[in-house]
Amino acid sequence: MCNSCKSRMESMETTEVCKSNSVEETENFKAKNAEPRRSDEKDFQVAQERVQNEDRDNDKTSSTLPEGERALNVETPTTSLDTDSENASSSPELAHLRAPPQHCVSGFFRIHTANHVVFDDAEARQTIVEFFYDDHRDVRHVIRARGVRVTRSDLDGDYCVLDCVTHDAKLGPALDAVRREWSSLWNEVKDKLYGSDVSMVVSHPHGCSKQFSVGRCLSREWGQAAGGQGWYRYTYDVPTCPGSSGAPVWVPGRDGLLSGYAPHSGSFNADVARSAVWFFWNMPQSK
C-alpha cells in the first residue's frame, strides 16, 4: 500500500472514531438530562407525530382514506361533543397541543359513540372523524379530526367516549354556532314534542351522506351504574341500515333534546333496534 493510501485510511479511521464518540456523548447527555413524561403527554406526542404527517391541504374531494384508517361520521349538532370553554380549560394540555414549529393541532373534541365502533386506544388512533358531511355532491365543507384515545368505555353497554384533535381551528367555533342555533330552535318545538314517543336517528348508512330516519320509541330501560351514576338505553322501531352504529338516537319527547340522546347500537330484527347506554348524573323519578 502506498504511503498516500495509508495516510488516507488512517485519516478515515480517526474520523469514524470521532463520530462514534460524538454520538455516544450525545446519547449520554440526552439520557442524563431526560425528564420523565406523563402518560398523557406520551399519548399526545404520538398524536402530534401522526397528524404532522397528514396532508395539510386536507383534500376534501376524495373519500379514500389511508390504508388502515376508518371514517367515523359525527352528526352536528349533538350533545356528544364537549367543545365548551369550561371543558377545554380543565385540560389545557388538550385544549391546544403545540407540535413542532409551524405546525399545531387544535381541539380537543370528545365524541360519544358505540364501543364496537371504536374499541380501544389502538383503534382510536386509526379513526378519522368527519364533520358536516351533509351532501355527497359537495364535500367542500367536510372537516376532519383524528382520534387520539378512548377515555371511557363500557363493553356491556356498548358505549365509548373518544378524544379527538383537528388541524382546522375553525371547527370549534363552527360547532358552537350550530349548537346555539339548535338550542334556539328547540324552544320553538319543545312543547309539541314533550310527551310523545317520536324517535329519530341521524346517520350515515353505508358510508353515505347524512340521512334522517323517524319512528317511535318503544321502551326506555334505565338503572344505576357504579358510583351512583344513572344510565338509560332506548328500544325503537326507527329503520336503520348497516353503517349506522354510533349514530345519535334522539327521543326528545321523553328526556328533552339535550339529554334525550344515545348512540345507536344495533338491531334485534328488521323492526326493532336498540341504542347503547347513555350515562347521566341524576336518576330519573319514573320510567
Kindly report, residue by residue over 103-142, the tens digit of the pLDDT.
Answer: 566 667 888 999 999 999 999 999 999 999 999 899 888 9
Residues 220 and 121 in one domain: no
Residues 166 and 209 in one domain: no
pTM for the predicted model, two decimal places: 0.61
**β-pair type (127-131, 70-74):** parallel
Residues 167 and 47 in one domain: yes
| CATH classification at residue 253 | 2.40.10.10
Residue 225 lies in a domain: yes
Residue 12 lies in a domain: no
Which residue bears the cell 336498540? 274
The HSE-up count of residue 34 (CA atoms within 13 Å, CB side) is 9
pLDDT (mean) for 229-240:
88
Cis peptide before 77 (omega within 30 of 0): yes
Give the type of residue at 154. Answer: D
Confidence class of residue 216 from pLDDT cuts 50, 70 and 90? very high
Residue 6 lies in a domain: no
pLDDT of 90 strictly over 50: no
Nearest CA among 106, 97, 166 for reference residue 132: 166
Q: Which pLDDT belongs to residue 45?
A: 55
Strand partners, 12: none
Residue 257 lies in a domain: yes
Q: Which pLDDT belongs to residue 103?
A: 52
pLDDT, one tens digit per residue, over 144-191 is: 889 999 998 889 889 999 999 988 888 888 888 988 888 888 888 888
Cα three-residue angle 99-101-105, rounded to 5 degrees: 35
Residues 136 and 216 in one domain: no
**pLDDT above 90 coverage of the chain, percent:** 21
Q: Based on the structure, what is the number of domains in the chain?
A: 2
56 or 127, which is more confident? 127
Residue 144 lies in a domain: yes
Residues 158 and 60 in one domain: yes
Q: Which pLDDT belongs to residue 59?
A: 42
What is the C-alpha end-to-end distance of the chain, expressed in Å? Answer: 96
Residue 240 lies in a domain: yes
Q: Which pLDDT belongs to residue 102?
A: 52
pLDDT, one tens digit per residue, over 14-53 is: 444 444 444 444 444 344 444 433 444 455 455 555 555 5
Residues 140 and 108 in one domain: yes
3-state secondary structure the chain: CCHHHHHHHHHHHHHHHHHHHHHHHHHHHHHHHCCCCCHHHHHHHHHHHHHHCCCCCCCCCCCCCCCCCEEEEECCCCCCCCCCHHHHHHCHHHHEEECCCCCEEEEEEEEEECCCCCCCHHHHCCEEEEECCCCCCCCCCCEEEEEEEEEEEECCCCEEEEEEEECCCCHHHHHHHHHHHHHHHHHHHHHHHCCCCEEEEEECHHHCCCEEEEEEEEEEEEEECHHHCEEEEEEECCCCCCCCCCCEEECHHHHHHHHCEEEEEEECCCCCEEECCEEECCCCCCC
Residues 202 and 137 in one domain: no
Which structural domain range is residue 133 located in? 39-174
Residues 110 and 161 in one domain: yes
Q: Which pLDDT belongs to residue 24?
A: 44
